[in-house]
Amino acid sequence: MNAPVTPESRALLEGKDLTMRFGGLVAMAEVDFSLRKGEVLGIIGPNGAGKSTLLNIITGLYVPSSGEVRLEGELLNGQPAHRIVAKGIARTFQSSRLFADLSVLDNVIIGRHTHMKTGIFEAIFNRRKAEAELDAAAELAEGLLKAVSRELHAQRHRPAGELPQADRRRLEIARALASEPKVLLLDEPSSGMDDSDTDALMDDIRSVCAERPELALMIIEHDMRLIASLPQRVLVLDYGQKLAEGTYEEVRLIPRVQEAYLGRKGAQHAQA
């Protein structure tokens, strides 16, 4: 007898049979995934495995050749990226996309744009309403910076382009959270960090999860210390196909996973 479906067990975000073709190149082939409220899912795989392709499909940058992505049961295929953000999916990118000349605080306020209703008319003819909305966004941005990193909040008036790499990554997370997402997608959040910075980042992510228990996270990452520490489940991709799924301890012992990362000889050595 199947277990009853409860709100806790129902998928918040799911993909079914996702395939992505670029001409004759198959970048992803019939990949399935699911993500529940409050869950952290790690996505790992060698370079070119299809990890960023998966995030681009979820966020509307790519329309899959076949298959579907659903958020709370609603089909997302073909919807523009800004609408998908408004529905509750935010992401960071592997390469920084901050506004380097703007302050740390202004970068987070910009992340709030999907919830700001003041248009050009109000900005010109109803300045009081526009200023009130901007003040509210600034207050929320201050709170987000404190929640993500007190050290980052202390630098809130500093130009984003002057931040060290670790703080830029934290700022990107804070800006993504400004859209009040249900799902947060992190693409290589520890890229360019040393072990100490990565450890601090993991603590920041844990704090974010503790303050937002229903927030679901999907993390693409090469640093296996982070993958071993944060996600409840890990999905392994290789050559655009789903190779394995389970806990980190389960998937790391699978010979095919070891071969994907180490090569056949390296995997044999790891099992010896």
| 256 and 207 together in one domain | yes
Retrieve residue 268's tokens: 């044999």
d(CA 228, CA 55): 21
Over 60: is that where the pLDDT of 142 sits? yes
Pair 14, 124 in one domain: no
| pLDDT at site 267 | 44
The verdict on 59 and 123 lying in the same domain is no
Q: Is the pLDDT of residue 3 over 90?
A: no
Position 122 pLDDT exceeds 70 = no
Domain match, 140 and 38 both: no
Same domain, 214 and 240: yes
Nearest to 37 by CA among 81, 72, 74, 84: 72
Same domain, 195 and 270: yes
How would you list the strands of the sheet with 25-35, edge to edge?
25-35, 13-22, 66-71, 74-75
Q: Which amino acid makes up residue 26?
A: V
Please report the pLDDT score of residue 5 as a whole number.
44
| Residue 168 confidence class, pLDDT cut points 50, 70, 90 | very high
Residue at which a domain ends, from 136, 164, 180: 180
267 and 186 in a common domain: yes
3-state secondary structure of 36: coil
Please tell me whether residue 197 adopts helix, strand or coil conformation: helix
When divided into structural domains, the chain yields a total of: 2
* Whether 237 contacts 54, CB under 8 Å: yes
Instruction: Answer yes or no: is 7 within a domain.
Output: yes
Structural domain contains residue 93: no
Domain that holds residue 173: 99-180
Instruction: Tell whether 38 and 83 lie within a shared domain.
Output: yes
pLDDT tens per residue across span 17-54: 999 999 889 999 999 999 999 999 999 998 889 999 99
Do both 108 and 149 map to the same domain? yes
Closest CA to 58 of 79, 29, 86: 79
